[in-house]
A and B are shown apart, each in its own frame.
Chain A
Amino acid sequence: MRSGSSRRRHKAARPFAVALALVLMGALYAVLSPATQVAADTGMSAQVAEGKGLFQVTCSSCHGLNGEGSSQGPSLIGVGAASVDFQMSTNRMPMARPGQQAPRRPVTYTAEEIAAIAAFVQSLGPGPAIPPSSAYDASNLDAEAIARGGELFRSNCSACHQAAASGGALPNGKYAPSLHGVEPLHIYEAMRTGPQQMPVFSAGAIPDEDVASIIGYLKELEQQPSAGFSLGGLGPVTEGFFGWVVGIGGLCLVAVWIASRGARAK
């Protein structure tokens, strides 16, 4: 007790107590507060400003100077940074030409440029933020969790994206794209933001760990060897096509050869 009271009277005690309180409060805040902003706070305004400049050059002709939308494109207020990151990192946006649907293309913008535009759009109104990789990390999943991801995929996704994730047709020229080779981050963002024809799968419907399971299943599926040429992974239509062309076609050639050979060499 005595030693304790002497420490309390130490001349460094007050500043130390203040510092300790600040650290405690900071740690508590960091643990308890909702992590809505992932991008670093420092230089945020500069990033937003840069994003605004890029936005006005590349996006505003359709989405309006302040993302308010026009007859050519929807409003981007409240779509969130995740939506921008998905659309631009797969280069669906900026659209090459108007059409029923923007296809996936090789990316042409740098990660910094996309992050800047995303930060600007996020500043227009709160929406889904770019998730930390921990939200969709599938590397530590066990076999059961991945198999469960397969069931979730078949139940929720395969009706449009096909059981082998090869994609499928939607009305009027729209389509659900193939999911082969899609980044886990983009799968997560697509589910949360519902780009183009896709519905939103919110965290209330499919929590993060289930999304990770689905991603884990899709990535495992890509690693699986096919039992021979996959024939496009499109199912019975291509199988029938190859059956006719290779089977009947090939055997007809053999039949012509057999019928052209007599008993004696000519």
Chain B
Amino acid sequence: MMAKPAATAEQAEVLETHAPAPAGPVKKLGGPAIWFDERIGLAKLGKASLRKVFPDHWSFLLGEIALYSFIVLLLTGLFLTIWFKPSMGEVEYHGSYQLMRGLAMSQAFESTLQISFDVRGGMLVRQIHHWAAILFMAAMTAHMLRVFFTGAFRKPRELNWLIGVGLLSLGMIAGMTGYSLPDDLLSGTGLRFTDGAIRAVPIVGTWVEFFIFDGEFPGDAIIARFYMAHILLLPAILLGLIAAHMALVVYHKHTQFPGPGRTEKNVVGYPLFPVYAAKAGGFFFIVFGVLILMGATMSINQVWLYGPYNPAQVTAGSQPDWYMGWVEGAVRIMPGWESHWGPTTWSWNVFVPFAILMGIFYTALGIWPFVESWLTGDKRPHHILDRPRNAPTRTALGVAGMTFYGLLWAGGGNDILATQFSLSLNSVTWFLRFAVFVGPVIAFLVTKRMCLSLQRADRERVLHGSESGILVRSQIGGYSEPHVPISVDEAFTLTQHRQYTPLEATPTEDEHGVKLKGPGTVSGLRAKLSAWYSGYDVAKPTAAQIAESHHHGDEDTPALPH
């Protein structure tokens, strides 16, 4: 009876990957397989990949949600291109939606209405496509958080992390271009936002704006240009990056959570064929099914409510899709600062929250693996994942980043928050102006303390065992709860991780006064940051302490009076 056992990795059966006997072409399969084997070496290919082992954990499936959403996006997108007309040429609407009858609109918007109302299944596919885009970005974000908090970006996977950051930012641009294509009032307003953000970039902004829009906003080229980017350029780059991303996963082998039998040199899990193929294949159909359900039952982007784009109109509640929401929020809560120097205007109110903020955010994401390795001085490869508590500063930084992001996110919907929760729009904005700076600091401190407390609890658990759940009353009326020792497997899981000693500063000059520089030297600043990063860990129990505690435990359990 162990109350609250610590969550350790499941003790899955270790499956040895046996190499099949070196025989000729596959014998059981008939003619076609042999035909292919003789031409493209199918058997060799299959031998290598079919036995590839993947570990099991629910969070490893987040990336798969993103992959499957992308496949759904390609399939539904293909359907939509059959009818969509990427033209800003003006037409008069005579389709079946009566409330737009006779209105002047672009061909892009007219064909969007046609897909929605006149093409069989068009509305469903449009909605699936949009939900898949929402899910694609959300799954990539969740997957990235999983990779971050478990340290799966460490050597040798830094390049794959960078590819992931590239996928995330390109996915955002792909979503933004797709959002603009229907040419409804909302997408046009979003485009106007993008236009303003580009224009706010000092010196080159206006030039870039004219280059992208082929003149003044909105011009008559942008839909066709975005269409090219949205259906050709970006999907091609995304596809290539996804292929590289997955090839690297296969090459590096998948990471695994710590547990008995799991080492840096093996992977414990199920082989690709048949178990993992069935799981992953089944999951594809589930993701597809959930997206179809969402498309069928939940309305999304009802463009006919917004009407055709007209630069003179802006509707209340104009918002970007969620992945641009945090940038929208930053722009909304930024004070309206602007400088006029000579003939130039510097729009800090847009440039800072848009270009600078996004630049800092994606740069910080991209360089993090290298920063962390610089802080810890750790150059070893890692295939066993961290439990987030065992990297407290990283975990705290991650939660601080999420808090920052979340508060900006709330800023992007400040009007919805105000109307739905009867708040003052101004109060929400002013609160967020301070909270985006204070909130992450609080989140950092709280998370770090929680991680250290969890480390302490792990240490206690290893040394003193688990609560037995049995209360013993002594003859003199005292109560106590005897502890029972935890299993060896659990003790291993709780103590297998490596703890870092902060880097020590090395002398800056040798005995001749010559400045020392080189890969082995550690500056004073780096030593300080290293101590800040990994100097607070609760020391995990040593083998001697564990042995001693077991001995100690034998004596005083149960705590009966003498």
Contact = CB atoms under 8 A, between A and B. Distances in A.
Interface of A: 100, 143-144, 146-148, 150-151, 154-155, 158-164, 166-173, 175-176, 217, 220-221, 224, 226-231, 233-244, 246-248, 250-252, 254-256, 258-263
Give 3 closest A-B pairs by Cβ, nearest first: A168-B316, A240-B322, A243-B134
Given A169-B316, A239-B321, A255-B61, A146 B99 contact: yes
Contacts of A238: 416
Given A172-B425, A248-B142, A237 B299 contact: no
Which secondary structure dominates where chain A touches chain B? helix
Interface in B119-146: 123, 127, 130-131, 134-135, 138-139, 142
Contacts of B300: 227-228, 231, 239
A228 B298 contact: yes
Given A147-B102, A162-B315, A255-B62, 18 more contacts: A158-B315, A163-B305, A163-B315, A169-B425, A173-B418, A175-B418, A220-B99, A221-B99, A228-B296, A230-B299, A234-B317, A240-B321, A254-B283, A256-B58, A258-B58, A258-B279, A259-B60, A262-B56
Contacts of A246: 290, 294, 298
A150 B99 contact: yes
Nearest to B93: A147
Contact of A248 (B139, B313, B317, B415): B139
Contacts of A159: 313-316
Contacts of A254: 283, 286, 290
B57 A259 contact: yes
A229 B315 contact: no
A158 B310 CA distance: 12
Contacts of B312: 155
Contacts of B240: none
Most buried by A among B98, B185, B186, B419: B419
Contact of A239 (B56, B102, B134): B134
Given A144-B102, A159-B313, A169-B419, A228 B279 contact: no
A220 B98 contact: yes
B99 A151 contact: no
A239 B319 CA distance: 11
Nearest to B61: A255
A154 B315 contact: yes
B485 interface: no
Interface string B285-299: 011001100111111
B317 A226 contact: no
A96 to B, nearest CB: 14
27 contacts: A146-B98, A146-B101, A147-B99, A148-B102, A154-B315, A155-B312, A159-B314, A162-B317, A163-B306, A167-B419, A169-B414, A173-B418, A175-B419, A217-B99, A224-B304, A229-B298, A235-B319, A236-B320, A236-B321, A236-B325, A247-B294, A251-B61, A251-B290, A252-B62, A254-B286, A254-B290, A259-B56
B424 A172 contact: yes
Nearest to A242: B298
Contacts of A237: 317, 319, 322, 325, 412-413, 416
B307 interface: yes
Interface in B320-363: 320-323, 325
A146 to B, nearest CB: 6
A220 B101 CA distance: 13
B172 to A, nearest CB: 13
A63 to B, nearest CB: 26
Contacts of B58: 252, 255-256, 258-260
Contact of A231 (B279, B298, B420): B298
Given A160-B316, A170-B425, A240-B322, A247 B135 contact: yes
A27 B371 CA distance: 91
A170 B429 CA distance: 12
B270 interface: yes
B462 interface: no
A219 to B, nearest CB: 11
A204 B482 CA distance: 87
B103 interface: yes
A234 B287 CA distance: 26
Contacts of B420: 234
A83 to B, nearest CB: 24
B386 to A, nearest CB: 19
Interface string B382-424: 0000000000000000000000000000001111101110111
A168 B317 contact: yes
A227 B415 CA distance: 24
A151 B134 contact: no
B233 interface: no
Most buried by B among A160, A176, A228, A242: A228
A228 B297 contact: yes
Given A172-B426, A228-B299, A236-B320, A247 B131 contact: yes
B302 interface: yes
Nearest to B312: A155
Nearest to B137: A243
B12 interface: yes
B169 interface: no
B389 to A, nearest CB: 21
B144 to A, nearest CB: 13
A235 B185 CA distance: 12
B325 A143 contact: no
B61 A164 contact: no
Contacts of A256: 58
Most buried by B among A146, A237, A255: A237
Most buried by B among A168, A169, A241: A169
A227 B302 contact: yes
B100 interface: yes
A229 B131 CA distance: 14
Contacts of A258: 58, 61, 279, 282-283
A251 B424 CA distance: 36
Contacts of A241: 322
A238 B412 CA distance: 12
Most buried by B among A100, A227, A259: A227
A51 B427 CA distance: 41
A103 to B, nearest CB: 9
Contact of B317 (A146, A150, A166, A170): A166
B422 to A, nearest CB: 8
B275 interface: yes
Nearest to A178: B419
B318 interface: yes
B60 A227 contact: no
Contact of B316 (A161, A236, A247, A262): A161
Contacts of B304: 224
Most buried by B among A166, A168, A262: A168
A150 B315 CA distance: 13
Contacts of B131: 243, 247
Contacts of B60: 259
A161 B419 CA distance: 11
B333 to A, nearest CB: 14
B65 interface: yes
A147 B100 contact: yes
A224 B307 CA distance: 14
B309 to A, nearest CB: 10
Given A227-B302, A228-B296, A168 B283 contact: no
Contacts of A173: 418, 422-427
